[in-house]
Structure 1
């Protein structure tokens, strides 16, 4: 399972920034259609047949499609919400969106207990088709204006240069290259005077482009660090917890599913009811710190569990730690203009995917070591505690975060050259 997650993580590390960037240009609805259509295929395969060949076909299709589209629906949905919701209500709306997703997760888990195996995949495929049809018929796309699109630009100047270009840009990512007698300069700048030749690069953002985007705002960089360590802890907990609970308290898969349902129900109630009340009072930065603090408590409680009912108590902390993810996304959305929401959300999703790749490599072997007879010292929950340390780093970083003023929306206008 951890190998499967790593393969998917490697794929989404590349595709998330690309999908987000393309949605800024071509629209959220068009890009939503692709992953929602592809996700019908795996369920449809097992709905049709469940022999060995169908299972292999499902596994291959599920892996490839997940590499291309895992998490992209949620990423694009966040960008769509940022397009249409004022900044003052964005954090609460992100929480409601995540709460609805959590409720769907709970309903899906509960439904499998009442459906037969063939019916489960048939219902899954039918619901996926219904979601796609509903989206295509009723979802109004965000307004895409070419003048509002902030491209990734590359400027090349040759020699001393006979002209200068003046661009009024929102928050572009610029790279300047000089040759001849001039020195080469590279940077992420806005409203600077580049050289004469301008080349617009409209494909996938490179690693350098993503770094430039993160460097454009201190708050955005801090949010990226928080997102990385939060995802590292979240995936590490999921990769280790089932083995830990099975070894310590002989948990079955049904008991583990009960924990997931309890956590999902508590998180759903919190995001739909409590978060819209707390966000105006505390602000998203403080609420992020609150969520990360209780994430630490939640994980540390798992690591020192002394009896079988302690994990159930720890799962109830979901009512408080679920604030973290929507708050991170809301903070990020306010640091870029309206034409870069997809790019920013895709960048954060890519960083989270990178954490998804690293986390099982670190925590799965550590869990196996401390659950074995050859453990360096008798502490079966040590790997879970290390997960808690990762979440603590995210918490400390959130305490140092100071939300910068939102980026104002501007248009790209008046591109012209002035002779030197």
Structure 2
């Protein structure tokens, strides 16, 4: 019989809170520079919009390419040397990099800064592995939901704050982003304990595990993880239908300007945050990870079809709740994968997943943007402005089929594996309570700054 629940220690609560804040602040820092980066590129490239557009495209591609290459590197490094060091170095590196970008006198130096930002932003991989270390298996869905909420908060607040700061100076948002990252580093230096005990770490660093394609080999060793990782990739790819076409599509079809786009994107962020922070935590104990994945994917399909076929704006808006409810599928998918992988390989798993998402980011925008351009052109096989969202819906239908197969073969968490201080059933507690008393290894030398 399970013992009575024990309250999490203050250090464990602080550790989870730091990871939550790290992800939120990093997203906030990246979001702050979104409204001003293109304008700074224009300024540094001589005022040519056309030339700045070429540079902007290169900036986006190189950022995702660095994510693809370095996510497994950071994951493998964290498996070998621990999560704390990797996270802190990444936070410090981001802070310094934003300072360099704020001072950049030429576009090529800004470009190098974007490369470094892509490398350091790969710390999201290590943050996810940290969660897998400290949160019991049956509570990871709520924890990853909280991480999704951190992303949503940064997505909502960052661009709005960056636009406001940009009125005073085009470089001010970069300075604020630098301060946020360095404060994050200082907070973590004094608060964040190590989550991976020395005896649970990899014995050596292997480049075959650290390269993005070598990291993907790990997925093939676990058939259920490989299937769920395919679902994860398709979800990530479908998401870029929004990133690549949302602004142009709503302008073309509904005549929306920047203000309307900003309001609706804020609505998407708020709804997504509510789904990730509240609904995932409350529905998972009632439905379980497997049902939640399928339900979330089907709702996301409905949302994309609303987007693709709505001829008037009010019908388009009806798709937003369905699209955001699709976020129910992400955290349980990630949870099931972490349950199938050994503790010393959690970093490699998260690195492989980040590489898959980055791979989607390299090819997805070009795919959906070019399809949108083709289907509104005179040479279109048919006039279908929402083709990007229709294709995304089809990708998610395929993902649903793969997920239906995968969840039937995924092993449930045995009762013996449940954390001894956590009741096996019942409502999940708030963010700080997803950590139980013994979740962190008690190694004082590793926990101290």
Fold agreement, TM-score > 0.5: yes
Is 1:226 equivalent to 2:279 in the alignment? no
Structure 1 counterpart of 2:120 = 69
Three-state SS of the structure 1 residue aligned to 2:207 is coil
Are 1:25 and 1:144, in contact at CA under 8 Å, matched by a contact in 2? no
Equivalent residue for 2:292, pick from 277, 287, 292? 287
- For 1:272 and 1:126, the matched residues in 2 are separated by 27
Equivalent residue for 1:271, pick from 276, 280, 286? 276
- For 2:168 and 2:228, the matched residues in 1 are separated by 42
**TM-superposed deviation, 1:47:** 4.3
**TM-superposed deviation, 1:150:** 4.2
**TM-superposed deviation, 1:208:** 6.7
Structure 1 counterpart of 2:185 = 132
Q: How many residues align?
A: 355
What are the superposed Cα offsets for residues 315-361 of structure 1, whole Å, 9 maximum, x if unpaired? Answer: 23344112222222211111112111111111111112112222123
Are 1:2 and 1:239, in contact at CA under 8 Å, matched by a contact in 2? no
- For 2:205 and 2:191, the matched residues in 1 are separated by 33
- For 1:362 and 1:113, the matched residues in 2 are separated by 29
Are 2:141 and 2:289, in contact at CA under 8 Å, matched by a contact in 1? yes
- For 2:300 and 2:72, the matched residues in 1 are separated by 27
- Could you state the TM-score of these two structures normalised by the residue count of structure 1? 0.78
Higher helix share: 2
Are 1:45 and 1:54, in contact at CA under 8 Å, matched by a contact in 2? no
Equivalent residue for 2:322, pick from 317, 337, 356? 317
Report the RMSD for the aligned CA atoms in angstroms.
2.4
What are the superposed Cα offsets for residues 63-97 of structure 1, whole Å, 9 maximum, x if unpaired? Answer: x1244233x23221111111011111111111012
Deviates more, 1:365-374 or 1:83-92: 365-374
**TM-superposed deviation, 1:313:** 2.7
Are 2:375 and 2:387, in contact at CA under 8 Å, matched by a contact in 1? yes
Structure 1 counterpart of 2:351 = 346
4+ runs of 1 displaced by more than 6 Å?
Answer: none
Is 1:241 equivalent to 2:292 in the alignment? no
Judged with a 3 Å threshold, the aligned counterparts in structure 2 of structure 1 residues 130 and 208 are, in CA distance, closer, same or farther, namely closer
**TM-superposed deviation, 1:311:** 3.2
- For 1:120 and 1:48, the matched residues in 2 are separated by 12
Equivalent residue for 2:65, pick from 1, 5, 10? 10
Are 1:46 and 1:54, in contact at CA under 8 Å, matched by a contact in 2? no
Judged with a 3 Å threshold, the aligned counterparts in structure 2 of structure 1 residues 334 and 104 are, in CA distance, closer, same or farther, namely same
Structure 2 counterpart of 1:368 = 373
- For 1:7 and 1:96, the matched residues in 2 are separated by 28
- For 1:254 and 1:46, the matched residues in 2 are separated by 28
Are 1:91 and 1:327, in contact at CA under 8 Å, matched by a contact in 2? yes
Are 1:24 and 1:144, in contact at CA under 8 Å, matched by a contact in 2? no
Three-state SS of the structure 2 residue aligned to 1:317 is helix
- For 2:332 and 2:109, the matched residues in 1 are separated by 38
What are the superposed Cα offsets for residues 256-292 of structure 1, whole Å, 9 maximum, x if unpaired? Answer: 2222211110111122111111011111121111221
Q: How does 1:112-191 map to 2 (within 5 A)?
A: 112-115=162-165, 116-118=167-169, 119-145=172-198, 147-150=199-202
Equivalent residue for 2:151, pick from 101, 112, 115? 101
Is 1:303 equivalent to 2:335 in the alignment? no
Structure 2 counterpart of 1:396 = 401
- For 1:148 and 1:125, the matched residues in 2 are separated by 34
Are 1:336 and 1:406, in contact at CA under 8 Å, matched by a contact in 2? no
Three-state SS of the structure 2 residue aligned to 1:334 is helix
What are the superposed Cα offsets for residues 382-411 of structure 1, whole Å, 9 maximum, x if unpaired? Answer: 2321122112211221122222245989xx
Structure 1, unpaired ranges of 5+: 152-199, 410-420
Three-state SS of the structure 2 residue aligned to 1:123 is helix
Judged with a 3 Å threshold, the aligned counterparts in structure 2 of structure 1 residues 248 and 398 are, in CA distance, closer, same or farther, namely same
Is 1:202 equivalent to 2:206 in the alignment? yes
Are 1:46 and 1:55, in contact at CA under 8 Å, matched by a contact in 2? no
Structure 2 counterpart of 1:167 = none
Are 2:145 and 2:276, in contact at CA under 8 Å, matched by a contact in 1? yes
Are 2:99 and 2:178, in contact at CA under 8 Å, matched by a contact in 1? yes
Judged with a 3 Å threshold, the aligned counterparts in structure 2 of structure 1 residues 406 and 25 are, in CA distance, closer, same or farther, namely farther
Judged with a 3 Å threshold, the aligned counterparts in structure 2 of structure 1 residues 249 and 59 are, in CA distance, closer, same or farther, namely farther
Structure 2 counterpart of 1:83 = 133
Judged with a 3 Å threshold, the aligned counterparts in structure 2 of structure 1 residues 42 and 22 are, in CA distance, closer, same or farther, namely closer
- For 1:248 and 1:318, the matched residues in 2 are separated by 19
